[in-house]
Amino acid sequence: MPTSAHETPLELLRLDPSLPDWVQNELLGDDAPAFDHARLFDPNVRPRTYQADAMVLYCGPDDMPLRAAVYEVQRGRDPDKLGTWKLYVGHMETEFRVKASLVVFVPDRAVADWYRDQVARDTRSGAWLRPWFFTAEDVPPIVDEELGAARPARVLFSAMCHLDDPAVEKMYPALLAALVTLEPRAKIFYHNVTVGSLPEPARARWEAFVMTTAVGKRYNDEMLNEADARGEARGEARGEARGEARSVLLVLESRAVPVPDAIRERILACADTDQLDLWLRRAVTATTVEDVIRG
């Protein structure tokens, strides 16, 4: 079943559909043709059960596809993926009559090596795979503030790959530059999955850094107001719960799941973080809000 850890890298494609091309060309060294802009083939990212996590079209100025990419997030070992990945790539190449890459984010290097071995052994199939596997270790720490403002999805993705890195604080200026570009609800969501997931000492250093700049102070005030928190990001439990409740609602909104006002208020009023974590996991795949809050 998809989890928030699985879905968050996919959500970043809404911010920047060219993210797989950055991985394929800049991080992994391919020389794929240039394009004018990138767009999601289906803005819902996961519109049907039996479909790729995301499909991206790289288009020319006339919006006609020049090439494509299938983008997958794979956290565990699944032998069936060798077959479904071929289906996904074939779908794109047949429908749009362009070549499609397969870019797969596998956070764990051991799992990535297992997939590489499975692909290498798949010699008897009539359709061969040539995936671009990458792991969290392949994503460099990004410290460029200008890049953070121009390409926030790259910096956010990089930060999520380096949350436990002892030198993560070197990324703080670029991370702040990325977060301040986002609209309020997205800002809360990505603050929670980056800053909110830092180890406690690193989070304390983030708070100290934020208060040293005018931009950081404004950002801090905006976060407290938007999240209706009663303290700093690492502060009181109610503030933390409020942020998690808003994350649940943001996920449901991004998936176009209707939420009646009464249930919205119930979610926002919940102070049980364990309950909110359960609702957040359910929100990733639920088709109705009742599926989220059942039981």
| Tens digit of each residue's pLDDT (9 = 90 or more) over 38-69 | 998 865 544 444 578 899 999 999 999 999 99
Average pLDDT, the chain: 86
* Among 2-16, 91-105, 270-284, the range of highest mean pLDDT: 91-105
* Calpha distance 134→136 (Å, rounded): 7
Least confident of 53-62, 99-108, 191-200, 273-282: 273-282
φ/ψ of residue 132, rounded to 5? -100, 90
Banded pLDDT at 1 (limits 50, 70, 90) = very low
φ/ψ of residue 97, rounded to 5? 55, 45
Whether the CB-CB separation of 194 and 228 falls below 8 Å is answered with no
* Calpha distance 193→248 (Å, rounded): 12
Domain ranges of the chain: 4-138
Banded pLDDT at 170 (limits 50, 70, 90) = very high
φ/ψ of residue 71, rounded to 5? -115, 125
Sign, CA dihedral 156-162-163-167, equals: negative
Give the rounded percent of residues in the chain with a pLDDT score beyond 90: 49
Higher pLDDT, 260 or 235: 260
**Quick one: residue 285, left, alpha or beta (phi over 0 = left, psi -120 to 50 = alpha)?**
alpha
Mean pLDDT of 186-193: 88
Centroid of chain to Cα 69: 16
The reply to whether the predicted model has a pTM over 0.85 is no
The letter for the amino acid at 242 is R
* Calpha distance 43→108 (Å, rounded): 27
Residue 3's pLDDT is: 56
Q: Is the pLDDT of residue 124 over 90?
A: no
Question: Residue 182 class from Cβ within 10 Å (0-12 exposed, 13-18 middle, 19+ buried)?
Answer: middle
The letter for the amino acid at 81 is K
